[in-house]
Amino acid sequence: MLQYLTLYSLTAVLVLTSSVLALLLSWLWLRHSTLFLKRKSLPPGGMGWPIIGQSLEFLASRPSLASQPFIERHSARCRHRRYGDIFKCHLFGNPFIISTNAKINDYILRNEDVLFQSCQPTRAHTWVLGEKTLTDIHTDMHMKIRDALTDLLSSDKSKGEIFDLLQNMMSTKLGSWQDQFVHVQHEATSFVLSLLLKCLLGHSVEDLELEDLQALYNESKNLLAFPLNIPGSGYRRHAECHRRLITVLRKRIDEWRTSKLETYPDFLEILWNEEQNGNLKDNSNLALDCLMGILFHGEETTAMAMTLIIKFLSESPRALDQIKEEHAAIYKRKGKAKSLTWEDYESMEFTKNVIKESLRLGNVVPWVCRVALQDVEIKGFIIPKGWKVLVFLMGPHIDGTCYHDPKSFNPWRWKAIGNDSNFIPYGAGLRCCPGEKAANMLLTIFLHLFITKYSWQVVGEDDMICFPVMTFQEGFPVVVKDVKDADECLILH
């Protein structure tokens, strides 16, 4: 009897073990099949070496103005596979999907917080800029802060103040360029950073404080170029400047909270009012991170746009002559002493086209980064949940199917094109840049004051670097001369 019970027990154990093993094998087979099918549906492209992926290839490709060799090379390799304008790769420790297709880009950008979410491309960006920049906060919190920033920079109430502030600060800045050897990008960066600090921290910020903040900020952002603590890399100096910058900004924010010295509705006051109304939790890191993010994204892009416009006009005498005529006519009509009005600004049609074409060809923001919130099917491909997506805004801008002769500077093309869905230098959807109108205003005022009062001569050639940010190696040096009147403005360059 005991033998039968033992045999029965062994049989039961074997059946149970076999059942568990069968279930486990079935689960593994199903999981493998799902991963296989998902992998089979991924866009074409390789993943490079283990761990480092294709990061070294990307960094060595030396992207330049209107050219991204890494993107172009991988698109060409994948072109035989249904779509060459979407492919997979592995960069900076993450699997990426890269899209250069205008329709795919628009779909991704307009499904923010539904299928995709804004994110930083690398951990270095999060470390330097903070975890709660406008890029990193989402849903209602993002909308409240974005609306506050848009109101500060672009509302009917504030645009008059910003318009006057821009003219006064720009006139003073350009006056310091007269009869000087000037590195345009460096000087433009200094100007934009000062402007942003005054707008965001308040007009009472003293010039010496601005200089200190600028010096600390310029050292801090170098961490993005090489965020590794290697002897001789300058990492420790950059990191120390970053810590000091954070300390100074936090002190300024805390002082403002306790004293409320400012009386006009600047950015910090808007955040304060939201907190008082219970819409935002009291969090100094939120204001601090937002400040860092706005400084980085606003300063780099706007200063580069100013520099590129001067570069393109220097290389296009016909465009330079026509824009001189437009601004000289306004200058003559108004007289020497009068400032620009909003009506003058609205009337500058060719200037608007020059700015559009400079942004299209210059691509000061070549891409933005998103992360998939779930498995997303696009054009028959699967973008897996958790994968990052580089939305290559530059792709359609230099695509011959979107623009005729796309790598040529041709501001006259916009007279025929008008509004264009392929043209998204400021992004699209919920994450469209809140400073778009203010940036266009700044670029227009800069052009008017520079063209009507000064002439310039480019000094030598200057190569561009496009990673981690777009920059001229020498800052685009020029010699600036004074122009005596509007008539001389038409003939001197």
Residues 446 and 188: their CA atoms lie apart, in Å, by 10
The percent helix, strand, coil of the chain (3-state, each to 5) is 55, 10, 30
CA distance to 87, 199, 223, 267, 428, per residue, from 367 (Å): 15, 27, 20, 27, 12
CA dihedral 26, 29, 30, 34 (to 10 degrees): 170
Half-sphere exposure of 240 (CA within 13 A, CB side): 4
92 with 122: CB under 8 angstroms? yes
Both tokens of 179, joined, read: 């009869």
Retrieve residue 180's tokens: 């000087």
Largest CA distance in the chain: 119
CB count within 10 Å of CB 237 equals 11
Query: Which helix (H) or strand (E) element contains residue 366?
Result: none
**Strand ordering across the sheet containing 454-458:** 180-183, 477-482, 454-458
In angstroms, rounded to a whole number, what is the distance separating the alpha carbons of residues 292 and 25? 51
For residue 479, report the phi and psi dihedrals to the nearest 5 degrees.
Answer: -105, 125
Element containing residue 390 per DSSP (H, E): strand 388-391
Exposed e or buried b per residue across 180-200, where buried means at least 16 C-beta atoms within 10 angstroms of its C-beta: eebbbbbbbbbbbbbbbbbbb
SS3 435: coil
433 is in an annotated binding site: yes
Q: What is the rounded CA–CA span in Å between residue 478 and residue 27?
A: 68
DSSP sequence for 96-159: EEEE--HHHHHHHHTTBTTTEEE--SSHHHHHHH-SSSTTT--HHHHHHHHHHHHHHHHSHHHH
d(CA 85, CA 76): 9
Residue 455: helix, strand or coil by DSSP?
A: strand
Q: Which amino acid is at 293?
A: G
In angstroms, the CA 129 to CA 365 distance is 17
The answer to whether 88 and 398 have CB atoms below 8 angstroms apart is no
Binding site membership: which residues?
433
Report the binding-site residues for heme: 433
